[in-house]
A and B are shown apart, each in its own frame.
Chain A
Amino acid sequence: MFYREAGQFKTSYAADQSIFPILQDRIGIAIILAVAFIGIPLFATNFFISTIMIPFLILALATIGLNLLTGYAGQLSLGTGAFMGVGAYACYKLTTFFPDADIILLVLASGFVSAAIGVLFGLPSLRIKGFYLVVTTLAAQFFLEWCFIRIPWLYNYNPSGAIEAPARRGLNIVLTGPGANATARYLVVLTIVVVMTWIASNLVRGRIGRSWMMVRDMDIAAELMGVKLFQTKLLAFAVSSFYCGVAGAAMVFFWLGATEPTAFSINLSFQILFMVIIGGLGSLVGSFLGAAFIWILPAFLRAIPSVFGIAIGAETVEHLSFIVIGALIIAFLIVEPHGLARLWQVGKQKLRVWPFPY
C-alpha cells in the first residue's frame, strides 16, 4: 500500500535501466539527499557533524570498498586498514610535493596509489582463495603497517612518527587543518561519498559487476563462460583499494587531522569487516547501514546516560555499550544472517503487500 509499484510502467530501455526504477525510492532518496545536503548543514550542531556524520560517511566509503571486493567479487580480505593507510600516507606525501594543489584532487589521487598497491597484493588471489587469501591480505596488513612505522620518508622524518594534515585548500576554501570549517568538510566528504557510491552502484550493475558476481559464485563456471579471471579479480582489488584509499586519506585529512600508524592497524580492518557483515554482503545500502550501526549507535548509547543525568562512570558506559552492541550484533545475525540490508529488503516487501500479508 505504501510501497506499491503497480501501475509504474517502463516504456523505454533507459527508464528500465534507471538506478531507482520505483517512484517511492526516488522520493526517498531525494529526501535523504535533501536532509544530508541542506538539512544537516543548516540545523545540526558542530559536534554532530564532525564526530558523527563525517566519520560515518568516511567509514561507509571504506565499507563500500571492502564490500566491492568481498561482497561482490567474493575475495576475502583483512587488509582494509592497511589500504586505507596507503591512501592516507600517499595523500600526505602528495600534499608535501604539491602544497598548492587542490586537496580534494589529492585525496582522490591518493586512491590511485592505494589501487596500485591493492593490485600488487591482489596477485595471490589468482592462485588461492578463501581463507588462504585472507592470510595473504593479513600479510599485506602487517607488512604495510610495518612500512608506515619503518620508512621515515613516508612521514617526512617526523620524530614522533605521525602524519599531520597541514592547512590546505580545496575549491579555494581551507578544508584541512585547524582553521577548516566542519560544515565545509562535511559537504566535501558527503559529495565524494555520494558520487563514489553512485559510481559503485553503476559499476556493480554493469558488465564489470556482473563478472565479479560470476567469479564470486563460481569462478570456474565464470571462466568457461569467457570471464577473464586475471583482469576481473585484479580489477576488483584495484577498485576496492581505490575506495579504501580515498576513505583513508579523507579519514586523516577531513576527520582526524593527524594520526599515528596504529590508527591503520588490524583493528580498523576488523571494524570495516564488521560493518560489511552487519550491513550485508554485496549491498551498497548495507554498507551505509553497517557503518551507521557500528559508528553511530555506540556514540548514541554513550550519550544516553548523560542526557538523562544518570551518574554512571565513563568506563561503565563503555562496557555497557560494548555489551549492548555485542548483543545486538548477535541478535541481528540470528534474526537475519544476511545483515541489515536484507532486513531492509524484507521490510520493503512487507510494506509492498501491507495490509494483506501472505
Chain B
Amino acid sequence: MKAKLLGLAAALAVALSAPASVPVKAQDSIFIPLPTYRTGPFAGSGTHIANGLRDYLTMLNERDGGIGGVRLEIEECETGYDTQKGVECYQAMRGRKPVVFNPWSTGITLPLIPLAAKDKIPILSMAYGLSAAADGNVFPWIFNPPDTYWDGASAIILHIANTEGGLDKLKGKKIGFVFLDAGYGREPIPLLEQLASKYGFELLKYPVPAQQMQNQSSTWLNVRRDRPDWVYLQGWGAMNPTAIKEAAKTRFPMDKLISMWWPTEDDARQTGEGAKGFMILNFHSARSDFPALNDIRKFVVDKGLSQVSSPDLVGTNLYNRGVYNSVLIAEAIRTAQKLTGKKVITGEDMRIGLENLQITPERWAEIGFANFAQPVKLTCTDHSGHTQLYIQRWNGKEYEQASEWFSPMTDVVQPLLDKAAKEYVAANQPWPERTEACATN
C-alpha cells in the first residue's frame, strides 16, 4: 500500500511540475467566457450550440483580428447543464472581468439574475431563461433577445389559428401541450391558459417527467385517446426525438405537430420518413449557404480551429443558434465601442451596448448573414425585442421555411411580462431600483 501511495504521490508531483508554458496574456483583449455542455445528458444538443458559439467568435479573431482591433479572449467552461457547475463557472470567471456571460441553461440563469447587477456583468440568456427578464426597468443586467418563451408560445398558437383560418376558428379546438415537466417546460403554461380562455380552445396538458424523457408511450397513448387537433411540443434533449418517434408511432399527423425552437436535424432524422411534415418555430435560418458561414469554414474549420466533428455540421439548426448568440455578442461589443469610444470595453459598457443593440437588415447583410434573421432592436425597457418568427418544416432531409415571418402576440405577452416582473420584485424584496442611466445613441 505504501508503494502505491508513493507511486501516486510521485505521479502527482510529476504532473504538477510538468513544464509550465504560461502564455503571455494580451492586456488589451475582451474576455468572453463560453459556458458549454459538451458532456452530460444534453450534450447531443449542447455540442452543436457550443461549436456555433465558439466558431463565429474565433472567425472574427482570425479574419478581422477581433472586434474594433481588439482580440477576443474566448474560454470555454464546461457546465454539463448542471446548475452547481454552472454557478462554479460563473464564480471562476467573474474575477477576470468578462464582458458578458451566456449561461445556456434556464437553471443556471436563475441564480445569476440577482448576482449580475452586483458584479456588473450582463447576462445574455438568448431565447431562454426567465421570460420576465425582458423588462429592462426591473432587470437592467439581464437580456433575453430575440424572443421569450411566451412570445414563442403565442406565435405557435397564432400559427395554428392562421392555418385553421383565423383566431375565431380556435373556438372548440383541442390543443395538446406536451412538455418537459420542469421549469423550462412549464414556463408557457400561464400564457397558454390565458389564450385558451380568450379564444375558447381547450388546452390539454401532457407533462413528461425528466426521468421519463425517453419513454413517452403512456403520454402519447393519452394523446391518442384525447385526439387533440394540434400538439405543441416543449421538449429538450432526448425528449424531442422520442416525442417525434412516439407521435409517428401513434399515427399522430405530423403536420399538426409543432415544437418550440430547440429540436435539431438529428431529432427529426431519427424517425425517418415518418417525421416528414414536423414543424418547429424558429427565429433564424437553418441553411448553410451564408457568406459568414463560408468564412467560418475558411478561417476556422479548414485551419483546424473548430471542434466540429464534420464540416457538414456548420449551418445546422443548433449550430446556427450558437452563431446567432455570438452575432448578438459581437454586435453589442461593436455598439458599446462606438458609444463609449473605448476599444477595450467592460461589462458596464457592454450593458449599454446591449441596450442599444440594433441589427438592421442592412447590417445583417453586411456581416454576411442576409436574410438569416429578422432585425433585432433592444431598448432600455425592452430587453427581448420580441422579433418576428417563422415556421420551419422537416422535409425528410432538412428544415425548410414553411411560413412567412410573423410577429408574436405582443399585446397578450407584454401585460403578462409586466405582471411577472412585478411579482418577481414583490417576491424578492428588497429588490434594487434601476440606477443605471439610459444611454442613447
Q: Which residues of A contact B (CB under 8 A)?
A: 45-47, 50-51, 55, 96, 99, 142, 146, 149-150, 156, 158-162, 164, 166-167, 177-179, 256-263, 265, 299, 304, 307-311, 313-315, 317-319, 322, 331, 335
**A308-B118 Cα distance, complex, nearest whole Å:** 31
A167 to chain B: closest residue by CB: B430
Distance of B112 from chain A, by nearest CB (Å): 8
**A160-B148 Cα distance, complex, nearest whole Å:** 12
Distance of A94 from chain B, by nearest CB (Å): 14
CB pair B88–A51 under 8 Å, yes or no, is yes
B-side contacts of A45, CB under 8 Å? 95
16 sample A-B contacts, Cβ–Cβ < 8 Å, listed by A number: A96-B427, A149-B181, A161-B187, A162-B107, A162-B183, A166-B429, A257-B111, A258-B114, A260-B106, A260-B183, A304-B15, A308-B22, A313-B76, A314-B36, A317-B78, A318-B80
B130 within 8 A of A: yes
A-side contacts of B183, CB under 8 Å? 160-162, 260-262
**Selected contact of B78 from candidates A46, A307, A314, A331, CB within 8 Å:** A314
Most buried by A among B16, B91, B106, B307: B91
B-side contacts of A256, CB under 8 Å? 83-84, 87, 111
User: Other than the known A159-B187, A159-B189, A164-B113, what 6 A-B pairs have Cβ atoms closer than 8 Å?
Assistant: A149-B209, A178-B118, A257-B111, A258-B113, A265-B210, A331-B4
A-side contacts of B8, CB under 8 Å? 331
CB pair B107–A260 under 8 Å, yes or no, is yes
**A99-B107 Cα distance, complex, nearest whole Å:** 25
CB pair B110–A260 under 8 Å, yes or no, is yes
**Selected contact of B91 from candidates A50, A160, A307, CB within 8 Å:** A50
| Given A160-B183, A265-B210; A258-B110 close (CB under 8 Å) | yes
CB pair A308–B78 under 8 Å, yes or no, is no
| Given A149-B182, A259-B83; A335-B117 close (CB under 8 Å) | no
CB pair B83–A47 under 8 Å, yes or no, is no
CB pair A335–B1 under 8 Å, yes or no, is yes
CB pair B115–A257 under 8 Å, yes or no, is yes
CB pair A166–B110 under 8 Å, yes or no, is no
| Given A161-B186, A265-B210, A309-B23; A177-B83 close (CB under 8 Å) | no
Distance of B50 from chain A, by nearest CB (Å): 8
Closest CB pairs A-B (n = 7)? A315-B38, A178-B114, A314-B76, A161-B183, A309-B22, A318-B78, A314-B78
Within 8 A of A (CB), among B91-116: 91-92, 94-95, 106-107, 110-111, 113-115
CB pair B420–A159 under 8 Å, yes or no, is yes
Size of chain B's interface in residues, with CB distance under 8 A?
A: 57
A-side contacts of B6, CB under 8 Å? none
B18 within 8 A of A: yes
Within 8 A of A (CB), among B57-90: 75-78, 80, 83-84, 87-88
B-side contacts of A55, CB under 8 Å? 84
**A159-B110 Cα distance, complex, nearest whole Å:** 12
**A257-B113 Cα distance, complex, nearest whole Å:** 9
A-side contacts of B88, CB under 8 Å? 51, 299
**A317-B210 Cα distance, complex, nearest whole Å:** 27
B-side contacts of A158, CB under 8 Å? 423-424, 427
B209 to chain A: closest residue by CB: A146
CB pair A161–B182 under 8 Å, yes or no, is yes
Distance of A12 from chain B, by nearest CB (Å): 39
Q: Which residues of B contact A (CB under 8 A)?
A: 1, 4-5, 8, 15-16, 18, 20-23, 36, 38-39, 75-78, 80, 83-84, 87-88, 91-92, 94-95, 106-107, 110-111, 113-115, 117-118, 130-132, 181-183, 186-187, 189-190, 209-211, 307, 420, 423-424, 427-430
A-side contacts of B78, CB under 8 Å? 314-315, 317-318
CB pair B87–A159 under 8 Å, yes or no, is no
Most buried by B among A47, A256, A304: A256
CB pair A51–B91 under 8 Å, yes or no, is yes
A-side contacts of B4, CB under 8 Å? 331, 335
**A257-B107 Cα distance, complex, nearest whole Å:** 11
CB pair A314–B91 under 8 Å, yes or no, is no
Distance of A249 from chain B, by nearest CB (Å): 15
B-side contacts of A319, CB under 8 Å? 39
CB pair A166–B428 under 8 Å, yes or no, is yes
**A260-B110 Cα distance, complex, nearest whole Å:** 8
B-side contacts of A149, CB under 8 Å? 181-182, 186, 209
CB pair B187–A51 under 8 Å, yes or no, is no
CB pair A164–B114 under 8 Å, yes or no, is yes
B-side contacts of A314, CB under 8 Å? 36, 38, 75-78
CB pair B187–A160 under 8 Å, yes or no, is yes
B-side contacts of A261, CB under 8 Å? 182-183
B-side contacts of A307, CB under 8 Å? 20
A303 to chain B: closest residue by CB: B92
**Selected contact of B210 from candidates A178, A259, A262, A310, CB within 8 Å:** A262
**A150-B181 Cα distance, complex, nearest whole Å:** 9
Distance of A301 from chain B, by nearest CB (Å): 10
CB pair B21–A160 under 8 Å, yes or no, is no
CB pair A309–B20 under 8 Å, yes or no, is yes
**Selected contact of B95 from candidates A46, A177, A259, A313, CB within 8 Å:** A46
B37 to chain A: closest residue by CB: A315
**A107-B91 Cα distance, complex, nearest whole Å:** 24
**A287-B371 Cα distance, complex, nearest whole Å:** 58
A-side contacts of B186, CB under 8 Å? 149, 159-161
B-side contacts of A322, CB under 8 Å? 39
A-side contacts of B113, CB under 8 Å? 164, 258
B47 to chain A: closest residue by CB: A315
B-side contacts of A315, CB under 8 Å? 36, 38-39, 76, 78
A164 to chain B: closest residue by CB: B428
CB pair B18–A262 under 8 Å, yes or no, is no
**A136-B4 Cα distance, complex, nearest whole Å:** 40
B2 to chain A: closest residue by CB: A350
Distance of B163 from chain A, by nearest CB (Å): 27
**Selected contact of B21 from candidates A156, A299, A310, CB within 8 Å:** A310
CB pair B427–A156 under 8 Å, yes or no, is yes
CB pair A258–B427 under 8 Å, yes or no, is no
**A308-B38 Cα distance, complex, nearest whole Å:** 23
**A47-B428 Cα distance, complex, nearest whole Å:** 25
**A152-B95 Cα distance, complex, nearest whole Å:** 37
